């Protein structure tokens, strides 16, 4: 037999159920209160401490063995360039060849094509004003060289301060030291001026109205004339030691060391947010509180990054590093919209 509840008890039970449900709904919808600067409850915290080590900044490039590679020679100082007429060599030069000079403040600064290479073209007009470090002459290495093409991002990472280059031929010799030739900058097409035309004779002519007599010049040079260089992209060109056997077209890897730091203060790259010399890290205090701190970055080998300023080395740092806020897009009609569009 079922027992009936009094009407009042039934009403009180219904109200109690509604209150419990409402309380549960409110507790589910309200966000969990968190203490500012602390990780959420139950978060697995990974930390790291700065360490000290020697650090090399290395860039790995894909290259190949190339016959007679072209490279650029730069102006040593800013000034006016004055080219010299360069005769085609009879054999591979064994010493440097002077091809131009830069005149600056009344002084002449030589521009030489190194031994083992020949002049391949002028890259600017004669008597042009040029900047220091600007490619002004193209040269062609006689023999084998190793060439690695690079892109714009790598160019600023490598720059012209190449410390050392190590090369490894795939399934061949290496690693070995590779001597860098010229600059990494892209080169325009080289030009080689034609020799001046012989002047007509000023002696007596054969008769009235006859054309002037042109003297017979020296016999034509049997040596093959130098062909002007073609334009190139940005590249690293280097030469192997004479005892290393090279095969044209063989693939190679060039490892460029652009800078070195000794006893550098470093952190794992995962602990640092930012780049291009500036970054942020989260320093964790004894109570677990996080403090985001600005740091100055130095070299990196892809695993660790140098901290040149902002830390003493005694801190504990959270891994991963802080999340940087995403960049806000420009709003139509705002300061970034000069047209005032809507």
In the structure encoding, which two tokens stand for residue 128, read together? 């042009």
The separation between CA 48 and the C-alpha centre of its own chain, rounded to angstroms, equals: 30
Task: Return d(Cα 142, Cα 196) in angstroms, integer.
Answer: 28
Dist CA 60 CA 148 (whole Å): 10
* 337 to 283, 330, 332: CA distances (angstroms): 39, 7, 6
* Contact assessment for residue 277 and residue 297, using Cβ atoms and an 8 Å cutoff: yes
Alpha-carbon separation of residue 280 from 21, 47, 288, 300, 309 (angstroms): 46, 15, 18, 15, 11
**What b/e readout covers 132-155, taking b as 16+ CB neighbours within 10 angstroms?**
eebbbbbbbbbebbbbbebeeebb
- In the Cβ-directed half-sphere of 297, how many Cα atoms lie within 13 Å? 23
pLDDT tens by residue, the chain, 342 residues: 455 555 555 445 544 444 444 444 444 444 444 444 555 654 546 899 999 999 887 889 999 999 999 999 999 999 999 999 998 898 999 999 999 999 999 999 999 999 999 999 999 999 999 999 999 999 999 999 999 999 887 887 787 567 689 999 999 999 999 999 999 999 999 999 876 666 655 555 555 565 655 555 555 555 566 789 999 999 999 999 999 999 999 999 999 987 788 999 999 999 999 877 899 999 999 888 899 999 999 988 889 999 999 999 999 999 988 876 665 565 555 444 444 443
DSSP string covering 72-114: EEE-SSSEEEEE---PPPSS--SS-EEEEEEEETTEEEEEEEP
pTM over 0.85: no
């Amino acid at each position: 037999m079922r027992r009936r509840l009094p009407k009042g008890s039934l009403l009180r039970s219904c109200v109690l159920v509604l209150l419990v449900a409402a309380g549960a709904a409110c507790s589910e919808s309200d966000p969990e209160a968190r203490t500012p600067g602390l990780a959420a409850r139950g978060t697995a915290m990974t930390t790291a401490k700065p360490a000290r080590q020697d650090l090399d900044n290395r860039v790995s490039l894909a290259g190949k063995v190339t016959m007679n590679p072209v490279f650029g020679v730069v102006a040593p100082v800013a000034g006016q360039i004055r080219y010299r007429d360069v005769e085609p060599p009879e054999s591979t030069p064994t010493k440097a060849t002077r091809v131009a000079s830069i005149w600056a403040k009344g002084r002449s600064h030589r521009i030489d094509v190194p031994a083992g290479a020949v002049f391949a073209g002028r890259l600017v007009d004669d008597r042009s004003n040029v900047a220091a470090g600007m490619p002004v002459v193209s040269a062609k290495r006689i023999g084998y060289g190793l060439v690695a093409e690079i892109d714009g991002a790598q160019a600023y990472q490598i720059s012209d301060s190449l410390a050392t280059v190590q090369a490894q031929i795939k399934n061949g010799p290496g690693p070995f030291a590779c001597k860098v030739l010229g600059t990494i900058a892209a080169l325009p097409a080289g030009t080689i001026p034609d020799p001046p035309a012989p002047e007509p004779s000023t002696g007596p002519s054969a008769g009235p109205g006859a054309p002037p007599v042109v003297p017979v010049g020296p016999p034509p040079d049997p040596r093959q004339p130098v062909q002007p260089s073609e334009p190139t992209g940005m590249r690293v060109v280097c030469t192997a030691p004479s005892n290393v056997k090279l095969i044209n077209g063989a693939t190679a890897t060039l490892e460029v060391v652009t800078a070195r730091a000794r006893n550098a203060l470093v952190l794992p790259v995962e602990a640092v947010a930012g780049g291009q010399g500036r970054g942020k890290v989260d320093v964790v205090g004894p109570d677990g509180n996080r403090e985001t701190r600005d740091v100055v970055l130095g070299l990196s080998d892809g695993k660790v990054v140098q901290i040149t300023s902002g830390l003493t080395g005694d801190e504990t740092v959270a891994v991963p590093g802080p999340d940087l806020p995403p960049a806000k897009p420009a709003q139509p009609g705002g300061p970034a919209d000069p047209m005032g569009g809507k």
